[in-house]
Amino acid sequence: MKRSAGLLLFRTTDDGLEVLLGHMGGPFFARRDTGAWTVPKGEYKPDEPAWEAARREFREELGLPPPDGEAIDLGEVRQTNGKIVTAWAVRADVDPAAIVPGTFRMEWPPRSGELQEFPELDRVAWFGLDRARAVIVKAQAAFLERLAEHSA
């Protein structure tokens, strides 16, 4: 079973609570919005602590050091593909323009024999909770609810 861990950054503005989500890169998600946004996260091996993986993946996915500050354990969710995702929320404010995403390589177009490089996240943005719920990977919406409960 695959496992991923990530950090959900949040901030409070005049409009309320906002979270930083990343739009999944690559050709499969290029034209999608709903269900194509995610907590910045990545897979890890069983011998790596999830917290350490979340911080490592933040750096790899966004090209920024993971923020310091209190980490709120948001628990786990199981996505429809069976992957278990663990997340922590950390209060921080980053400029999406400062993001330098990591990349991955895949054969594209399919069966072409050509490898192309794509960003792990092709963009990141701050979302209010209502908008975030509308675009985030369905199972990860539970993280938003847990953060909202913690912040109430």
pLDDT, tens only, 30-42: 899 999 999 999 9
Output the average pLDDT for the chain. 95
The C-alpha atoms of residue 138 and residue 87 are separated, in whole angstroms, by 15
For residues 63 and 17, give the distance between their C-alpha atoms in angstroms, rounded to a whole number. Answer: 24
> Residue 71, CB half-sphere, CA atoms under 13 Å: how many?
17
At position 97, the amino acid (one-letter code) is A
Question: pTM of whole model > 0.75?
Answer: yes
Distance CA 105, CA 114 (A): 10
* Encoded tokens for 72: 């709120």
pLDDT at 135: 98
pLDDT at 152: 75
- Predicted pLDDT at 83: 96
* Backbone region of residue 135 per phi and psi (left: phi > 0; alpha: psi in -120 to 50; beta: other values): alpha
Note the pLDDT tens digit of each residue in 7-27: 999 999 999 999 999 999 999
Q: What are the DSSP calls for 26-87, one per residue?
A: STTTTT--TT-EE-SEEE--TTS-HHHHHHHHHHHHHSSPPPPSPEEEEEEEE-TTS-EEEE
Q: Give pLDDT, residue 151.
A: 87
Predicted pLDDT of residue 120 = 93
